Structure 1
């Protein structure tokens, strides 16, 4: 899996989450969706990956994912930032995963476990 971050997306991520937010996890988040098959593409900023997670190739951030989520995503995807909408977008050549991509800070949640 390859994740390409636009320069605008990198700058906005750093503005929102800080320059130290370098480790991210791509998930198909089904929390609150009612069905585990209909997940929403989400990026979590994390302290470090869990054992067994796979690392995606990325042009800037370190990106990890669970192998079971791999089936939900294309091999090459792009994260861009749309300043007029104040929103991130995740897309591939074949589809748009989200025009309003959710990014969550999970660093403090993981620190207590």
Structure 2
């Protein structure tokens, strides 16, 4: 998996993290959705990855994900930030995963 972060997204992540080397975790959250295939993308800021987390290729900060969630995402994605909406946008050439994605500190 490769995630291209725009300059705006990287600046916002760094600002929210308060550090120049934050760790993000891309999650497919299906809890409370009724089915494992009915979920929503989430972006978590974590202190450190779990031993079984997989690291994505990224031009920005470290991004990890759970191998079992890989099926829900495309191989190439982009993370952007919209200042007017104060939210991130996760997209790929095929689709928009979330256009009002919040960065959740875990």
TM-score, structure 2 length as denominator? 0.91
Q: CA deviation at 1:16?
A: 2.1
Cα deviation for residue 32 of structure 1 reads: 3.0
1:109 is aligned to: none
Deviates more, 1:36-45 or 1:73-82: 36-45
The answer as to whether partners of 1:28 and 1:72 remain within 8 angstroms in 2 is yes
For the residue of structure 1 that corresponds to 2:74, the secondary structure is coil
Unaligned runs of 5+ in 2: none
The within-5 A match list for 1:66-81 is: 66-81=66-81
Return 4-13 or 20-29, whichever deviates more: 20-29
Q: How many residues align?
A: 106
1:101 corresponds in structure 2 to: 101
Shift in Å, 1:20: 4.9
1:48 is aligned to 2:40: no
Query: C-alpha separation between the residues in 2 aligned to 1:35 and 1:21?
Result: 35
Aligned counterpart, 1:10: 10
CA RMSD after TM alignment:
1.4
1:21, distance to aligned residue in structure 2 (A): 5.5
Provide, for residues 53-83 of structure 1, a one-character-per-residue CA deviation record: whole Å limited to 9, x for no partner.
2110011111111111000000000000111
1:97 & 1:42 partners in 2: Cα distance? 10
Unaligned runs of 5+ in 1: 107-113
Most deviating of 68-77 and 49-58: 49-58
Q: Which residue of 2 aligns with 1:82?
A: 82
